[in-house]
Amino acid sequence: MFLSQLTRKTLRERYTIFKIERNQYIHRLIHEGPASCVENLRMDKRSFYKLCFLLESRGYVQQSRHVNVVEKVAMFLYILGHHTKMRIVHTDFQRSKQSITRYFHAVLNGVLRLQGDYFKKPEPI
């Protein structure tokens, strides 16, 4: 019994440390300097938060119990902006590859739903 309590406590502490490191990493991606958001996510802070607000307010991307919309959109833009693989991103964001894939597709579907309102329709010549 003592061993299982010790293991549970150790796992809870590790999870808390991962959560803090994950939040620090996202903060570093977006807020470290004036150009850090553009370099990391290929979008300035104002546009990034506006995209997050649009996706969340229209209900295209939902905040889950463990991941907020900002983190989901940051993962999506990081993958697209740097053309990285899921196995690279899962170590940076400290999430499983399955979770990264699920969040990527959720944000991708949300952006595709926004296309009717924000993308210009091609006109024939």
- Cα 45 from Cα 35, distance rounded (Å): 9
End-to-end CA separation in angstroms for the chain:
76
Would residue 124 count as lying in a domain?
no
- Cα 100 from Cα 90, distance rounded (Å): 7
Would residue 125 count as lying in a domain?
no
Domain containing residue 73: 2-116
User: How many structural domains compose the chain?
Assistant: 1
Is the distance from CB of 79 to CB of 104 less than 8 angstroms?
yes
Would residue 17 count as lying in a domain?
yes
Instruction: Look over the chain and give the mean of its residue pLDDT values, rounded to a whole number.
Output: 86
Would residue 121 count as lying in a domain?
no
Is the distance from CB of 76 to CB of 100 less than 8 angstroms?
no
Convert the pLDDT of each residue in 2-52 to its tens digit. Answer: 555 556 666 667 667 777 888 888 888 888 887 888 998 999 999 999 999
pTM check: above 0.95: no
* Side chain identity at residue 32, one-letter code: E
Is the distance from CB of 103 to CB of 76 less than 8 angstroms?
yes
